[in-house]
Amino acid sequence: MPTNLPPHYYELEREFKQERDPQEKLRLAKELLALMPKHKGTDKLQAEMKAKIAKLRKQIDGGQKKHGARTSSPFDHIDREGAAQVILVGPPNSGKSSLVDALTNADPLIGDYPYSTREPLTGMMDYETIQIQLIDTPPVSEEAFEKYMPNLVRQADLVMLVSDVSTPGFESRLRVVCERFRERRIHLVGRHSDKSDDPLIVCKKTVLAAHKFLDEGGGDGLRQLRESYSDYTIVPTSILDDEVLNEMKAALFQALEIIRVYTKPMGKEPDFYDPIILPIGGTVEEAALTLHKDFSRRLQYAKLWGQGKFEGQRVKSSFVLSDGDIIEFRI
């Protein structure tokens, strides 16, 4: 029976056979499996690919190691904590570590010399009633690009590309960062809706941090950045002004395109300390699913409080929620 594989499957298969990095090879294997049509003609092919995926996972987890393959880095994956994960990338001395230090409980090494950051470091940033995980990373340049960086960027919810706009030549350094990721088939794009027709390419939504815009020359740099990157969200940043940092937090939350929904037990006050996090457009049913799948199945209706709504408004499972809504489930 014919397999009827799509044409780009074979290009991806060649990439898979040539790749030596276990993490990247695993990612490609998963994409190959997803591209396979599901019918009897591909049963054997699916089984073989699933076996390869299992072997790669075992290799990455420290089990059997394929002879001649490069070992995976301990930084290939960072578990997501909080409401979302934002990774900061940028050229040397762009100010990533200073921002993470100012916004989180992390304690990165900060130096006035290039490449002071040697490995990724995480910290939790408070924003109103939630926390957002920030990841500080080593700089990206023509000379430096850590092997684990593509995997970290792929798993993150949002990329913040940091540039010191007070320093002449910052735009050329930004272009180098973007080009290094494009070499690994990662496009840093301005919108979630930006997609590539090439299934091998990953498009990651990215905001640009115009860091040190309050320093001498920073205002001109900010205007230059806005002209050159008009399709991106530009966030002016500075560790010298608390209000600017607060505005940066709000901008990151908005760029993540998520909402916070607070639960209210029947007859009790709402819980404002552990909201349900949903994408914009999330429904009552999706909110219930985050608690438990059985809970969602037994749900009859919900009562809702929020801006522009009646107090205790009764809604169905398909009702679209808004940021800040308070919900009381009835089963």
Among 122-131, 184-193, 257-266, the range scoring the smallest mean pLDDT is 184-193
What does the pLDDT read at residue 245?
Answer: 96
What does the pLDDT read at residue 66?
Answer: 44
Where are the chain's structural domains?
7-60, 85-256, 259-330
Average pLDDT score, the chain: 87
What does the pLDDT read at residue 217?
Answer: 95
- Report the percentage of the chain scoring pLDDT > 90: 54
What fold, for 259-330? Ubiquitin-like (UB roll) (3.10.20)
What fold, for 85-256? Rossmann fold (3.40.50)
pLDDT in tens, 36-57: 877 777 888 888 889 998 888 8
Report whether pLDDT(65) > 50: no
What does the pLDDT read at residue 133?
Answer: 96
pLDDT in tens, 228-260: 999 999 999 999 999 999 999 999 999 999 999
pLDDT in tens, 154-204: 999 999 999 999 999 999 999 999 999 999 889 999 987 777 777 778 899
pLDDT in tens, 282-330: 999 999 998 877 777 788 888 999 887 778 889 988 999 999 999 998 8
What does the pLDDT read at residue 21?
Answer: 79
What does the pLDDT read at residue 68?
Answer: 44
Distances (CA, A) of 198 to 3, 7, 8, 31, 203: 21, 11, 8, 12, 10
What's the rounded Cα separation, in Å, for the pair 290 and 276?
7
Among 64-68, 136-140, 174-178, 238-242, the range scoring the smallest mean pLDDT is 64-68
What's the rounded Cα separation, in Å, for the pair 244 and 110?
20
What does the pLDDT read at residue 201?
Answer: 85
What's the rounded Cα separation, in Å, for the pair 205 and 301?
35
The SS3 assignment for 295 reads helix
pLDDT, average across residues 135-142: 94
